[in-house]
Structure 1
């Protein structure tokens, strides 16, 4: 970037957005649909992002075998066997035992399958409570002994026959700004949620590391915070779905902050807008 008159420096700020219907751990997964199939069910989901902090131990490091991948937890309390996702769909990392940390597992998964990654596989029944990221030292065609991946959560599945979609513009572009105009610079975009049935849902917005501050530079000197309809996005905002795929609009606002005066250049960050069900 070049200096402009009066030695005012310009920079370009750009905030990219991912949208998802569920989150587990540092991975963000969108459930596409789940359909009954005889006594079982077939589910489709897409992992759209995954981050991990460095240094967290991998619980199955050094074992003879370890699988890591998506699956569901059942309402009867049984754990998944991971046969459908790992064997049927090939949606798992099957040598996770080689890696000493969860961050290494994440990188190996991305090398093998890529992110984003969409997969369809059979689950034991549609009577599942939530979707999560699991690891297991052995595969079972029935219920099994898979455990949730460290620091992960199990995202609640939608009610029966409920299907919601969320759409958000892929970016907020601030364009070129003077250094003196950075703090409190604000831009807004409009997102939309559609649901097949009436019901309650919640929207949140945060960084890929699930923090309120979305840093736009490697030195963490410039960041954005998000608001949804004027409320802090990290805290979440509740909505009521109208049903029949009637759109529910919301306003997503980005507010820039700097800790030190910015230098000329290009600044980028990635945020996640998450939809979850009550």
Structure 2
């Protein structure tokens, strides 16, 4: 899960040296820092693009953020529509629950497209393949989320959708307004990821011998907190005035991360507060 969150770079700031003595020329390491395409997720030329326009250009930043949230809104509308169809339409609900093969096929498509968009900069940046892959990813994850929702009570689904919307809105506003740099808290996120992983492994081992409600509740609670923090982390990557930023070319990658955070938050809330159908 955390493999996809690697396309960030340190912001480089060059301050003028005070005093009457002229500034010393930069060393070779300083002059070439951040230009390697291997570790930063950039192609050759990304540094020049950022230097020419820069994150200091508020117009570029606004266009980038607007593009990300426009695509994200379309993704969420598609997901909500599919969840509503699978929840309220009884024939569709019966069909998907009695044909689990479509679930596993959607999971494979979701996993392949996620790895492609996360780990392959070429398809992620090349139009129109990036949008085609993003549409396939959105439909597959929406199917998975809709099928999960079909096993819960309709009121529970509506309640969890409302809670998710309120939490995501509050986290987004907080991330834009706060002076706390959440992008520098990778250690906390890593520890929580490991905790979630071990809880998931324990749940998978214990589940065949009997359902353990309290262990499942702990797992869902940690997952909801973790992806709420990831939502704040990914939101601040868009802003450009934090320790870590994301390239304006990576609007597909940024949208992918935030959309995945929102869907996982809803899924964990559904496991925490949802009531299964009889």
TM range (shorter): under 0.3
TM-score between both structures, scaled by the size of structure 2: 0.26
Higher relative contact order, structure no. (Cα contacts within 8 Å, ≥ 6 residues apart) = 2
**Greater helix content:** 2
